[in-house]
Structure 1
Amino acid sequence: MWKVKPPVSFPMETRYRPILENLVPPDPMSQFHLRRGSPEEEFPDLNRNPTWMGRILTPAMYSRQFNRCTHSGVIFDDVIRPGIEEPGDSSGLVSVGCVAGDAESYIVFCDFFDRVIEAYHGHKVTSQTPESDFNYNNLKGGEDLDGSYVLRCDITVVRGVEDFCFPTHCSRGERRQLLTLAGKALQRLERDQPGRLLSLEELDQEQQRELNLNRPSSSELRTGVARDWPDARAVWLSNDGRLVVWVNMDDHIRIRTTRHDANVTEAFKFTCENLLKLEEHYQELRHPFLWKQQLGWVTSSPADVGTGLRICVHLKLQHLPGHRRLRDVLKRLRICMDTTESSALYHVSNMATFGLSEVGLTQLVVDAVKLLVAMEKRLEGDQDIDELVPTQK
């Protein structure tokens, strides 16, 4: 990779500029000597591949991406590898089936990524800057959810850091630099939010179980996310247990706020306050979070672009999960509901992260939870819920 950051003063710049410019490869792909066939010979087998990558990719699109390469060496086959090796099935939520190796991937392979993002999030990519809103005062009704049904809420935000490749493609040295950078930023956060940064080796079995830290899956190992595990992986824990920051796990930074009650507004407020502080600390260290004009915040997965925000509410339900209209209701509300180890406890969260602001996504989940609770109460009284079924959001 050719990369030069010139000094502030370069008096001989005029004389040596032609020499430096001649060192820049006109096409990064020319620096690689891969023994590959033609695009027609290399096109993957996408039969019975239910991912959005498998549905969208055509021989013509593959041919257009075939000879492209980012400056850090990401080629298109690196992008689509997850969907080829782990296509999943069509019974659950359709996965994106692709991953970005670095932020430049979203530019070099934009005609592919934009189509995947539009299909997954149900929102068109335009030239307009995505709307952003961290003003928690604009959230309505998140503080009065029924505690008899809402037992807990988690809010997670994922961020990428500028000047570093994403976990699927980064080097061992980059990963260690990211950990050092995170340590400095989190140390500054501790002025307002006391906590401690622990490597995975320092966590005992009980802490790992509480944080749901499992050994890397076969998919994570094959796609490179878990290379050199557990080297340079760490978790920052606030002293009060409300805030957790994962470093170098599936993305550069993943932040989670947890509340063991029904107050989503307070959870969202706490998340916004600490996220904005952490963002400021990264900017002070000259490595801001990654932002793209048309996509918003970007990370390794197209499933997280825009806001990188997931709001998960833990709901206690008995009757609604078995109702014939449930799948239609969830689709119209644009949320998903997952089962847990408990037969009566379900996780309700937003499907998309792109197309709405942070407040808008949180409001969508709050409104959806209220409606699901209202439906559950009706079913408890042997009443019909058809008149409560919403129109498509």
Structure 2
Amino acid sequence: MATNTDKYEAEENFPDFSRQDSMVRTHLTQDMYKNLFKKLTPLGVSIDKCIQPACEYVRDEKIIGLVAGDEHSFEVFKDLFDPVINEQHSGFGPSEKHPKCDLDADKLQIDGVLDENYVRSCRVRTARNLKGACLPPCISRAERRLVEKVFTEALNSLDGDLKGQYYPLQSLTKEQEQRLREDHFLFQKPDSHILVNSTACRDWPTNRGIWHNDQKTFLAWINEEDHCRIMAMQKGGDIKGVFARFARGLKEVEKKMQANGHGFQWSERLGYLSACPSNIGTGLRSSVHVQLKHLGKHPKFKEICTAMQLDKRGTGGENSATVDDTYDISNAARLRKTEREFVQHLIDGVKKLIEMDKTLEKGGKVEVPKA
């Protein structure tokens, strides 16, 4: 049976990018689009599904504009994905290869904990997606139900200090919702351009939910931006302990999934796969909430963080304001280094930021480090 796409040539269907700026606009030529126009992945994903975010207007911001509809998108549409990945990750050519996973917390070089006069809390999180199912921009209702079932079965079978409970968004009581909000565990329907414009929010909130252990130090979000976001957190500066728990929990979840014939989406070249090309590789974001009363007021604070390959956010997440001079500092990259190396990078960077804050407190000066 012919589809409406079959009636037209690629030139007639080429997007109008005149009102926005994106990496897709930079790299997608008409010739490339013509070559990819009628290709489909084994799960039926088209190039038009992948570039939909680039076809929507986003004010005053250059966006990536590209999402993977499934794990095969990176290969079937590599003519576009490869240059976008290369740009997003500041150089990662088609011959480069992401290193193997390293979750060994014992290799971290840190004496004790991060300075708790400055560091308020630590968190490590990553994204994992179910092999064989479409990613959120293209997922079907049946696949979303399968994702919820597979991940919650694995999570609910954890024991010891990882033992916990799943809370489906669609059946939360008012009391549960209030508690999850107070614990800062509850996620709302996303309003970011990439999730809204890629249609990843369809059927909200069905088959979405939050799982956490009884001690509230190990958490999972089901069917938000990716199939599952797994994280460990705790108050204070014990980043090594947080990473160790994160690694142990992540390994246990994967082990229990494998026992039931399931696995994570993974590429030998790109590492763990994600809907957004920015999160491929490790998908890992290691972060601390750190109070920087003096450095935070420095006119070049953002430049300093950028030069150190660190992201700076408010304590409420991306694009949020800071509270009490406390910032969320994390590794900026996701690709080319291992999980353990990214956590080490954060440790070293936060120590340096604290040193700078102390220098400014004493009346000294700090400079933007050489990148």
TM over 0.5: yes
Match of 2:24 among 44, 48, 53: 53
- TM-score, length basis structure 2: 0.89
Q: In structure 1, what is the Cα distance between the partners aligned to 2:63 and 2:225?
A: 16
Deviation at 1:371, TM superposition (A): 1.0
- TM-score, length basis structure 1: 0.85
Q: In structure 2, what is the Cα distance between the partners aligned to 1:155 and 1:329?
A: 22
CA 1:234–1:227: 2 relative to 1, 3 Å: same
Q: Which residue of 2 aligns with 1:226?
A: 201
Larger Rg belongs to: 1
Q: In structure 1, what is the Cα distance between the partners aligned to 2:310 and 2:19?
A: 26
> Residues 202-241 of structure 1: matches in 2 within 5 Å?
202=172, 203-209=176-182, 210-217=184-191, 219=193, 220-241=195-216
Q: Secondary structure at the match of 2:5?
A: coil
Amino acid at match of 2:178: Q
CA 1:31–1:371: 2 relative to 1, 3 Å: farther
Contact persistence 2:234–2:242 (CA under 8 A): yes
Deviation at 1:359, TM superposition (A): 1.0
Deviation at 1:160, TM superposition (A): 0.8
Q: In structure 1, what is the Cα distance between the partners aligned to 2:261 and 2:10?
A: 40
Kindly indicate whether residue 362 of structure 2 is the aligned counterpart of residue 381 of structure 1: yes
Deviation at 1:96, TM superposition (A): 2.4
Deviation at 1:217, TM superposition (A): 2.2
Kindly indicate whether residue 118 of structure 2 is the aligned counterpart of residue 149 of structure 1: yes
Kindly indicate whether residue 359 of structure 2 is the aligned counterpart of residue 391 of structure 1: no
Q: In structure 2, what is the Cα distance between the partners aligned to 1:371 and 1:54?
A: 38
Q: Which residue of 1 aligns with 2:100?
A: 131
Deviation at 1:52, TM superposition (A): 2.6
Q: Which residue of 1 aligns with 2:218?
A: 243
Q: In structure 2, what is the Cα distance between the partners aligned to 1:62 and 1:175?
A: 29
| Higher deviation after alignment, 186-195 or 269-278 | 186-195
CA 1:36–1:258: 2 relative to 1, 3 Å: farther
Q: In structure 2, what is the Cα distance between the partners aligned to 1:230 and 1:258?
A: 25
CA 1:142–1:260: 2 relative to 1, 3 Å: farther
Kindly indicate whether residue 96 of structure 2 is the aligned counterpart of residue 121 of structure 1: no
Deviation at 1:165, TM superposition (A): 0.7
Contact persistence 1:143–1:266 (CA under 8 A): no
Q: Which residue of 2 aligns with 1:363?
A: 344
Q: How big is the alpha-carbon RMSD for the aligned residues of Structure 1 and Structure 2?
A: 2.2
CA 1:195–1:320: 2 relative to 1, 3 Å: same
Q: Which residue of 2 aligns with 1:34?
A: 5
Q: Secondary structure at the match of 1:204?
A: helix
Q: Secondary structure at the match of 1:189?
A: coil
Match of 2:37 among 62, 66, 69: 66
Deviation at 1:81, TM superposition (A): 1.0
Q: Which residue of 2 aligns with 1:25?
A: none
Match of 2:301 among 326, 329, 332: 326
Contact persistence 1:142–1:263 (CA under 8 A): no
Q: Which residue of 1 aligns with 2:326?
A: 345
Q: Which residue of 1 aligns with 2:66?
A: 98
Amino acid at match of 1:361: F
CA 1:271–1:368: 2 relative to 1, 3 Å: same
Q: In structure 1, what is the Cα distance between the partners aligned to 2:330 and 2:7?
A: 42
Deviation at 1:78, TM superposition (A): 0.8
Structure 2: gaps of 5 or more residues: 316-320
Q: Which residue of 1 aligns with 2:318?
A: none
Q: In structure 1, what is the Cα distance between the partners aligned to 2:57 and 2:282?
A: 25
Deviation at 1:107, TM superposition (A): 0.9
Deviation at 1:266, TM superposition (A): 0.8
Residues 125-148 of structure 1: per-residue CA shift (max 9 Å, x gap): 425452321111111127432111
CA 1:379–1:191: 2 relative to 1, 3 Å: closer
How many residues end up aligned between the 2 structures?
358
Q: Secondary structure at the match of 2:162?
A: coil
CA 1:121–1:185: 2 relative to 1, 3 Å: same
Q: Secondary structure at the match of 1:366?
A: helix
CA 1:66–1:339: 2 relative to 1, 3 Å: same
Q: Which residue of 1 aligns with 2:148?
A: 179
Q: Which residue of 1 aligns with 2:353?
A: 372
Match of 1:302 among 257, 277, 284: 277
Residues 308-361 of structure 1: per-residue CA shift (max 9 Å, x gap): 100111111222233233333222211110124415111111121111111111
Q: In structure 2, what is the Cα distance between the partners aligned to 1:146 and 1:319?
A: 16
Amino acid at match of 1:244: L
CA 1:282–1:197: 2 relative to 1, 3 Å: same
Amino acid at match of 1:113: F
Deviation at 1:181, TM superposition (A): 1.3
Percentage identity across paired residues of the two chains: 30
Contact persistence 1:121–1:351 (CA under 8 A): no
> Residues 71-82 of structure 1: matches in 2 within 5 Å?
71-82=42-53
